[in-house]
Amino acid sequence: MRHCILLTALSVLVLSSCEQASKAQVSEPDKIAEPAATPADPKQSVIRINSTRQKWNPGQPWEKQPPRKRRSLAAVVGDGQFITTSEMVADATMIELESIDGKKLAQGKVIAVDYEANLALIGLDDPEADASFSEGLVPLEIAEPFGLGDSVEAIQVEENGTLLVTRGPVQSIDIVANFLPGEYFLTYEVKASMQSAASSFSVPALHDGKLAGLLTSYNSKDQISDITGTEILSRFLEDAADGDYQGFPSLGVSTARTEDAGFRSWLKLSDDVGGLYIAKVRKGSAAEAAELKKGDVITVVDGHDIDRMGYFEHPIYGRTYWSHLVRGAKGAGESVTLGILRDGETLELNVELERRDRQNELVPGYLFGKAPNFLVKGGFIFQELTRPLLESFGDEWESRAPLNLLDVLENPDKYEDRYERVVFLAGVIATPATVGYEPLRNLIVTEVNGKPVRDMKSLIAAFDDVPGDGLHSIEFDEENFKVYLDEVVSTQVDGELLQRGLSKLSRSE
């Protein structure tokens, strides 16, 4: 959906905004119970989850899109605690737990969620009132990590309660992004022909009767299923057990292979050394704190030699990409030791890992559970730039979205000194205050009334400080372009918009 939706006629704005409060808020969990012995019947260890999800409209951020429902299976991992994918709870307004036989229902709540790893721990919203829901359920033990050739069983349950078990071998083990782009985690790729009779959005997978992971995708043509790595699942549950979920860390570097002979010669790499070239160090990252530099070459991670393509030999998984040693094998607050080659000299650096919060970046990678910030002023529609907003330009958004906005996403270092969030003019509604400005859109705002705009809050504050002549001046990044907005006329227009049904004129949470 392209942003031309922002330029709809004024009558479209009479639709009331849907401002339902999400019930899927992260809350403090009880300690995860020790699992009992694995049951003979897997149906004792799975439940259904029904979620109602409602996203905010990226083109009209004052309202939500129509609600959608999603149905899935979840594995029992503790007394009244269940694990599923984060896709089930993203933007959820209601989470319902249902027994396999359909006789018991209970409201659920999110205990911990990691959208990047695509995992969510769900609990009973009212454990005392719904204590009977867990009667007869048996928590699954978590499997030990396993390797290529081992078998995995995907558990499905038909609507009539019939159990379906699909067994398949692990064909490969890779680092895969399965929900959010750019978020790579250890994943088992299993060869198996899943049955569509009991289709469910995500299902548990077992290894030797123990919980191995969650099936996150299935390619029916190749009959390949992606299943969350057991090591990732275990670390998520361990992190969530104390009620203070931290999440998976990142190093904060961009790397390049060192296969090219000329490149290796310039880096002074001998033939017996592999390594990854550090092409970029993110500001504020763990790598920057440890004084890693652009141009360094990572040759060793925690004693594992890294080859020219970035792989190391794992004792269980075989040839594995190096990022797993940082994001999967370690948690936030733990340290990793790097062997570095810098200007031909060997160094050893100890890096304390930190979690990268993608919702607090210059261009947030996702906004699940958060409403988008915006301002409607006299017909001008201002928004904060986010990746979901860019993705609203359609399937080919990386080529269809405005180049200036894509540049912010791809090169944040150029903008971080000036902005906390990039605010841009997303569109213009034809009103008496915006005559002649209707074609303007997708322009990055730099100043309003001479005051720098660093985020939506500063934009709103700048408009609140009305100049003596009553004319707001708005400056944009593009060739120092400036427009003017009459305060009296724009205030009158704002009142009419509210009377016609626009629920609110701004949000700056």
pLDDT (0 to 100) of residue 360: 80
Q: How far apart are CA 497 and CA 491, in angstroms?
A: 10
The answer regarding whether domain 253-352 maps to CATH 2.30.42.10 reads yes
**What DSSP state is assigned to residue 56?**
B
Q: How far apart are CA 142 and CA 136, in angstroms?
A: 19
Q: Where in the chain is the domain with CATH 2.30.42.10?
A: 253-352
Both tokens of 491, joined, read: 């205030």
Q: Where in the chain is the domain with CATH 3.20.190.20?
A: 369-507
pLDDT (0 to 100) of residue 31: 43
**What DSSP state is assigned to residue 59?**
S
Q: Across the strands, what pairs with 407?
A: none
Contacts of 429 (CB under 8 A, 6+ apart): 6, 7, 8, 10, 13, 376, 379, 380, 381
pLDDT (0 to 100) of residue 2: 40
Structure confidence by residue, pLDDT tens digits, 283-295: 889 999 999 999 9
Q: How far apart are CA 440 and CA 429, in angstroms?
A: 10
**What DSSP state is assigned to residue 490?**
H
Where does residue 450 fall: left (phi above 0), alpha (psi -120 to 50 degrees), or beta otherwise?
left
pLDDT (0 to 100) of residue 65: 93
Helix (H) or strand (E) holding 409: helix 403-410
Q: Which fold has domain 369-507?
A: N-terminal domain of MutM-like DNA repair proteins (3.20.190)
Q: Where in the chain is the domain with CATH 2.40.10.120?
A: 23-245
Residues of the chain with pLDDT under 50: 1-38
Cα-Cα-Cα-Cα torsion 89, 93, 98, 100, nearest 10 degrees, comes to: -40
pLDDT (0 to 100) of residue 39: 54
pLDDT (0 to 100) of residue 199: 65
Q: How far apart are CA 226 and CA 75, in angstroms?
A: 17
Strand 92-98 to 297-301 pairing:
unpaired
Q: Are 394 and 2 in contact (CB under 8 A)?
A: yes
Strand 151-157 to 311-314 pairing:
unpaired
pLDDT (0 to 100) of residue 21: 35
pLDDT (0 to 100) of residue 66: 95
pLDDT (0 to 100) of residue 200: 76
pLDDT (0 to 100) of residue 91: 95
pTM exceeds cut of 0.95: no
Q: How far is CA 338 from CA 53, 140, 205, 300, in A?
A: 42, 36, 34, 6
- Dihedral over Cα of 7, 8, 9, 13: its sign: negative
pLDDT (0 to 100) of residue 198: 65
Q: How far is CA 271 from CA 193, 262, 320, 489, in A?
A: 44, 12, 21, 72
Which amino acid is located at 509 in the chain? E
Contacts of 234 (CB under 8 A, 6+ apart): 142
The answer regarding whether domain 23-245 maps to CATH 2.40.10.120 reads yes
